[in-house]
Structures are given as C-alpha cells and as structure tokens.
Amino acid sequence: MKRKRKNAEAAKAPVEESSGLREVLVEGIRGVFEGLPEVRRGANTQFTQAELSMTAFAVFHMQSRSFLEAQRRLESYEGRSNLGTFFRVERVPSDAQVRSVLDRMGTEGFLEAFDTVHGELERRGLLGGFDFLGGRRLIALDGLHYHGSGKIGCRKCTTRKGADGEVRNYHSAVTMALVSPDMPGLAVPLRPEFITPQDGELKQDCEINAAKRAIEKNGERYNREGRGGAVLLGDDLYCHEPFCRKAALHGFHYILTCKEDSHKALYEHLAPLDRHTGLHKVVERRIPGPGRSETWEVTYAPGVPLTTGEGALKVNWLAARVTNEKGALYTCAWATDLKITEGNAVEIARAGRARWKIENEHNNTLKNLGYHLEHNFGHGRENLSCTLAALNILAFLVHTAMELGDPLYARVRRIVGPRRKFFGDAATLSEYNVWDSWAALLSFMLDAKLNGPKPHPAIARNLLRTPGVEK
C-alpha cells in the first residue's frame, strides 16, 4: 500500500526536466577511458580502447545482457543505435573484441572514473546530505564475494579448498560506500579494492589486507581539509589494533563493531566499571518517522585498552540498545577513536549502526536487486573479471548519482518501482527504437506512466523487422 501511495503521489507531481547530470558524468567517464594507456600492439585497432571500455560500461548502465545485440540490429535498420546516442560509441563492437581488450587492461585505471563522478557530485553540492558528526563523512567497508568456480580461473583469482578437498577459485572485493543515517535508501559507491594475489606476498590475499590497501590509497582522496577526517565503519573483523593504527596513520577515524567473544581483554577491563569509575549512560527518545518512536540507551567508557600488554591501543567503547513500544529493535557495541560525550553518544551510535547500509543498500543491491554481480559476465585470463565488476559498480554509482541529482530519473524510478522493472522497461524500449537522448527515453516512460501508453511509429516499424514477428 505504501508503494502504491508513493507512486500515485509521484504521478500527480509536475513533470520535471532532466538536469543533464548523466550526460556530464558519461562524458567525464569517457575522458578517463580515453586517457588509459594503450595495451594493444599491431594494427588491430578498429575500435579505440575508450570505445570498447564505454561499450562494456553501457551494458552495465543498461543492465541488459542483450543490449549490444539489439543495438547491432538497430544499427542495420537505422544507421545508428542507442550505443551512439546514449554513450557516443558510433559503431557497435563485438562482445569478443570488448572482452579481449579489457582482459589486458588493469583495473586501477578504471577506478579513476569513480573520482570523476564524485568530483561532479561535490561540485553540484549533492553530497551535503551525507555530512554527519560535525561535517564528517561516514565510509562503510565490507567484504563482497562475487564469483566462485571449481572449473575456471585466472591470475587474479584466490583459491580455497573445500571440505570435500576440491579447490575452488574465487573473486572478492572490499567495497566502500558513503552512508549516513539521515539518507535512507542510499549508499554511494566508492572505489572498490579487489582481493587478489599480491606480488611478494607469501600468503594469499585476504579481506583485511585489501582493506588496508584501500585506506592507504584513499587517505588523501577521502580525507579533505575542513572535514576532520572521514570515519570508517566496519564489522568486527576490522576492530583490531593493526587496522585501527593504519586507519589513524592515513587520517581516518573509525567506529568498528566490537564483539565480546573476540575482544575478551577489552570486556574484562569493562566488567568492574560503574558510573563512578568511568562507565556513562545516555538515554534519548527519537522520532525516526511519522507515528514511530525509538528509545536509544547508550552506555560508553573512554580510554579502554583494545588488547592486553604494554602499549595497547586505547579506544573509546560504546554500546547501544534501541527499543520501541513493541520491545528491543537493535543492540550492538563499537570501538572508536572519536571522543564520546553525553551530547554526541547517540549520534556516534547512530553512525555505527549505519554500517549495515553497505550490506543492505549496496552489496545486496549489487547481488540481488538488479545488477547480477555474481553472474560470470566474462572471466578472462588476467583482469577481465575484476574490470567488469568495477564497471558494474561504476554503473551503480552513476544510477545513484542520478537519483541524487536528476529529478526526471528519480521520478521515473519511483513510479516504475523495483530496479529490475526499470532496467527491463528501459532495455526493451531501447531494443526497438533509437532515442535521441537518455532524457528522451525517460520522458517517454514518464508520459506513458502518467497518461497511458501511446503507439510509437519507430518502435512499431522496428518490431516488424524483428525475426519471428509476423509482418
């Protein structure tokens, strides 16, 4: 009922125009791709690397595995295609051409496109809603497994032996996302860090090593002057002294889940404390929405040793219990380097709780709600699997950016509903007609939703050209 009510309200609103954000982002991404070093040798350069890279990005932007095939057919009918009007790739390359070149291109260069998108969002002031804890940004981290196979593998796979003795190849990444308790339904993707075999490592790569590389690479990028340092949010895996010290070294603060069974020394120190010896408590009632109320009970203690031994890192510990009129909703505990006071204890706990958004609103969306990240789009021998995953996440970032900054896109998404439905409708319409622009496609979809479907001569004409359809 709530979804129907929202759709009805969206249908009554005045018609918005596209902000042009998507076109700026696509041009910026293309500029990054044009600057990538050439990996090919010889005369087999019918398509530029930028064209091949944009083609792969286009498939993920449209979330249609048959997009290229449909555009080839349109190109033969109309002399142009949506690959050209949407992405400025005037000829449609083959899947094999795209895969062959991308397999040889390192993933790192493609990640620069994430910076381009974020730079434009910053310039337009679209990320202001993510400021929290006095203007800081919250960055959630989480490990994401996106492919596994006992039969195929590549140089970037990690391996694991199962209980049955079979060795399986895996692809995983540490994903990072900008989150905020005050921005429901949104997690803005940042650069992923892929878990791959590293030169000089005696042991296999792992999530915590990849996370350390991520904060080393991105300390200057995400810790801008005047913000006081971004705050890393992570599960209990990250709440250990080496990672905490590495985060601080590169300018990050942290709020990390701190479980009792894996931090026995810390909880032994907490056990004898009371309100007279360093244990503090704050109770606050919050109204998260109409007709809803929550009570936050936060207990905290400053300067607690994270481990045993001389020179152990001291952290500030806090735990939250959230209830409503029906009973307990949520309990968790964290370790942080942020100073906790009676005035900010609940806000720090809310920030810690926002970690779940990278699981539900980022990784789960990528795997189960329209992006099919776990599908094997192409494994290759070197970089292909990682590169395609990066482009898929980049497409998710661009879609998220449009939700933040393009009223036309946001409205169509609200009216159409689930991502799978939106992607399916957009792909189908793009299969039977060449649209002059992305905004023209969205405007047609919006008009059809508001005023009912209308026949489109070009769609009807191209439908009759489709094999298997009676003329």
pLDDT in tens, 422-464: 999 999 999 999 999 999 999 999 999 998 877 666 665 665 5
Q: Which residues pair with 282 in a beta bridge?
A: 298
Q: Indicate whether 262 and 326 sit together in one domain.
A: yes
Tell which of 298, 330, 346 closes a domain. 346
Residue at 205 is within a domain:
no
Would you state the pLDDT for residue 201?
54
Indicate left, alpha or beta for 338 from its phi (over 0: left) and psi (-120 to 50: alpha).
Answer: beta
pTM to 2 decimals?
A: 0.91
Q: Are residues 390 and 445 in the same domain?
A: yes
Answer whether 148's CB lies under 8 Å from 169's CB. Answer: yes
Predicted confidence at residue 385, as pLDDT, reads: 92
Domain match, 297 and 391 both: no
Q: Identify whether residues 13 and 89 lie together within a single domain.
A: yes
Mapped onto helix, strand or coil, the DSSP state of residue 318 is strand
Low-confidence ranges of the chain (pLDDT < 50): 1-4, 6-14, 469-471
Tokens standing for residue 369: 């709600």
Name the residue with tokens 């200057």: 220
Shared-domain flag, residues 383 and 447: yes
CA distance 312 to 266: 10
In a domain, 274, yes or no: yes
Asked if the structure places residue 53 within a domain, the reply is yes
**In which element (H, E) is residue 334 found?**
strand 327-336
Tokens of 212: 């350390």
Q: Do 22 and 101 have their domain in common?
A: yes
Alpha-carbon dihedral 54, 56, 58, 62, rounded to 10 degrees: -170
Q: Is there a single domain that holds both residue 97 and residue 14?
A: yes
Quick one: pLDDT at residue 14? 47
**Which among 37, 32, 65, 155 is positioned nearest to 392, based on CA atoms?**
65
Show the domain range for 400: 2-106+378-465
Same domain, 304 and 387: no
* Domain contains 371: no
Determine the pLDDT at residue 462.
60
Instruction: State in Å, rounded, how far the first CA of the chain is from the last one.
Output: 42
Q: Which of 36, 163, 39 is nearest to 110 (CA)?
A: 36
Alpha carbons 102 and 388: distance in angstroms, whole number: 8
Same domain, 388 and 304: no
Is residue 320 domain-resident?
Answer: yes
**Residue 19: predicted pLDDT:** 84
Domains of the chain: total: 2
Is position 67 within any domain? Answer: yes
61: left (phi over 0), alpha (psi -120 to 50) or beta: alpha
Residue 460 lies in a domain: yes
What per-residue confidence (pLDDT) applies to 151? 77
At 95-104, the pLDDT tens digits run 999 999 999 9
Angle at CA of residue 438, ends 433 and 439, nearest 5°: 115
Q: Which residue has the tokens 């009912």?
A: 452
Q: Are residues 342 and 425 in the same domain?
A: no
User: DSSP labels for 303-314?
Assistant: EEESSSSTTPPE
Whether residue 398 is contained in a domain is answered as yes
Please say which residue of 293, 327, 346 terminates a domain: 346
Tell whether 337 and 403 lie within a shared domain.
Answer: no
